[in-house]
Structure 1
């Protein structure tokens, strides 16, 4: 029998970076203005730190393919486990669709060829089903993709940050830096971006679903989370600072991304540098989707095997035991979304799909933090190779802070907080879509008669 390939600690760290670090994250958040620096630092301390500690304890104490589904089910029962697995899974094909619709634009930048609506749809479907095909194989077989994507992401973020500093030093600061401008305004515009930052800090638990492919998961999980967390925090702040000092705030919006930043910083939308950046950025999209698909599919399949998701999700390959049912479902839903997209009103499709994915994704994390505290109470004797220190008051604070921040983010992402025609046109599809997907999840619970 051929020995199964195993993760090294270095590969585990790069895998966490590939999963959690989103290269294009800094640009949309920079639209907040100088107060973005306050929000980055605040959320790194108030959200990333407790979330990383809690994920390390749960991931090393309850090792398996279930991830957050397993933790919530053990704490609160199968009904809540079913909700979490549904929200956690459905966000992925929506995110996959949002990145697929970016692909034709990136290829236009690279090749100069402009695609028709039909040819763009074909490209989007190719992107989706290539991701599905790769996810049919074990994560250890794709480790070179994850490692490569992680390195490219870091290079892109460091380049945009360094280029921003160069532009600021040679041409002057694009935005006035004062103490007052660095403080948050707590208005609707500023608070609405919190969800984007939090999204960019989530995903540490995915590495826990790779435990079977690790040499020593009980050591590698917390080590990789801590090491990658420090690297991610440093790069996020550096790239955000570079964009913030070099690009005027009024030129950046929620739909701005890494490529917009490079084009604004260089003052050009063509040339070898822009083409190279577009190609590297396209590679990171593949890395993002592959790393997330492996974790999401395992969680959905595991939940289906326990009766908490539709039976199709439990289907696994007879050759390598990979969760092909969940992978095919990803492709089917994402394909349907991009096929319907041309029929939707003219709007920013990436941001619409991404916002809906964001709501479902954040919902899946709400029960995770109280589950951590509940498991400490109902399962105190379970071995915990990595254990978060502190008394009950500190643990309650570590649970409450990130959970409240997620709830606040959900309110600002899912609900229209102003009622102008423009806001409603952009926001209502997200609100209605969120309600529909929540109702589908509740219908699954009702049909399967899942026990509490």
Structure 2
């Protein structure tokens, strides 16, 4: 190995920071805060019932099947090419939807910094710049962007500490915006709150992305489980701390799903503008770049890998002749996200961030749904394969370990994408997500049909 290649390798601290950068999503803290005080119950409950089993399972699969295909490879090995193709499609399509949701947030935050609301044309231009900067950066290997991942992770932790710290100060000096009583801390089962619980699951997903960086690590079999365990503990702590800060500052009913973190700092400091608020807003925007860059490296590799196996359209398999990066998938990300933000001013729903983010959530959760039964299936059909990290326990324990998080994803999808009442407000908020999800699923099935996926198996 050359000296250059050796310098390019991930260290354990890089792997841990990459996990934090990938999994900790600063913009998701506000939608969770919209649950209210019962969010603390859901954080603890889902850490035990979802984060722990998912972290163990992804550690085993990621170290056993060490390839850039990630979850696509695991699901395909367990259930065949059609399910692998579905997972790779859901996994990919969520990304441009997520990119679009962050893009429409950008002008709002910039307008907050400038103290004025931006026009439609100005907003679209800013959104497109954000999208295509991400696309261009994703043309280069992860090690070239390691400083971005490390920097974004540090900024995210700093923002969470600032919001949480001001929350504690505000609670001591001015009291809290949401009264803390035993009943308020108990789980809330109203439809609005339950729809946001899917965001907590989203906040816990992404550990397997670190597995796609295996080629850039010195010792992936050791670094992957270590980074997942340490990163998971840190992430859970900073999520709860930042959520507390938002909950102290803003009444639950008034939490903005897009700018809640910055809104909370404004209320806690008593300043709507100024150097401090501007700096915090700029740092928040930088974390959005970190999110997209870290995820693009994993998502694009999975799409390229699936395309090279004939399970995604050929365009996703195009790579750079210079460095082998999946430029085809990156460009498709940019094209789809561009179309969404250009058409977004024509949409009736004004909470565009939540509309796109919720649709991204549905597709994202669908991609992860088969991982848990795939874990059980691979234990049966690949029992002789060496597992550097192996989850211990009886067959019954392993079934419970896999089925509980799978059931939680199904429940989250129901509350997120299916209208459970037929009043105008619920239909207006949920029906576009339902229709968008159905459209995305149908497109995926058309691709499978055209590609004739599975016929070769």
After TM superposition, the score normalised by the length of structure 1 is 0.98
Which stretches in structure 2 are left out of the alignment for 5+ residues? Answer: none
How far has the Cα of 1:256 moved from its partner?
4.8
Which residue among 227, 230, 234 is the counterpart of 1:227? 230
Aligned to 1:148: 151
How far has the Cα of 1:81 moved from its partner?
0.1
Aligned to 1:303: 306
Please tell me whether residue 247 in structure 1 is matched to residue 263 in structure 2.
no
Aligned to 1:49: 52
Which residue among 265, 284, 289 is the counterpart of 2:287? 284
CA gap 1:173/1:111 in 2 versus in 1, 3 angstroms: closer
How far has the Cα of 1:254 moved from its partner?
3.7
How far has the Cα of 1:73 moved from its partner?
0.4
CA RMSD of aligned residues (A): 1.3
Please tell me whether residue 14 in structure 1 is matched to residue 13 in structure 2.
no
How far has the Cα of 1:255 moved from its partner?
4.2
Which residue among 103, 110, 130 is the counterpart of 2:113? 110
Count of aligned residue pairs for this structure pair: 452
1:112-131 to 2 correspondence within 5 Å?
112=115, 114-131=117-134
Which stretches in structure 1 are left out of the alignment for 5+ residues? Answer: none
Q: Which stretch shifts more, 324-333 or 117-126? A: 117-126
CA gap 1:417/1:256 in 2 versus in 1, 3 angstroms: farther
How many angstroms apart in 2 are the aligned matches of 1:217 and 1:116?
48
How many angstroms apart in 1 are the aligned matches of 2:140 and 2:191?
44
Aligned to 1:39: 42
State the Cα deviation string for residues 116-150 of structure 1 (Å, max 9, x = none): 21121111111100000000000000000000000
Q: Which stretch shifts more, 45-54 or 341-350? A: 341-350
Say if 2:105 and 2:258, in contact at 8 Å, map to a contact too: no
How many angstroms apart in 1 are the aligned matches of 2:398 and 2:447?
33
1:46-195 to 2 correspondence within 5 Å?
46-112=49-115, 114-195=117-198
CA gap 1:346/1:192 in 2 versus in 1, 3 angstroms: closer
How many angstroms apart in 1 are the aligned matches of 2:269 and 2:352?
26
Aligned to 1:343: 346
How far has the Cα of 1:252 moved from its partner?
1.6
Say if 2:245 and 2:264, in contact at 8 Å, map to a contact too: no
Q: Which stretch shifts more, 134-143 or 191-200? A: 191-200
Say if 2:43 and 2:200, in contact at 8 Å, map to a contact too: yes
4+ residue runs over 3 A deviation: 111-114, 253-256
Say if 1:25 and 1:257, in contact at 8 Å, map to a contact too: no
After TM superposition, the score normalised by the length of structure 2 is 0.96
Aligned to 1:419: 422
Please tell me whether residue 211 in structure 1 is matched to residue 184 in structure 2.
no
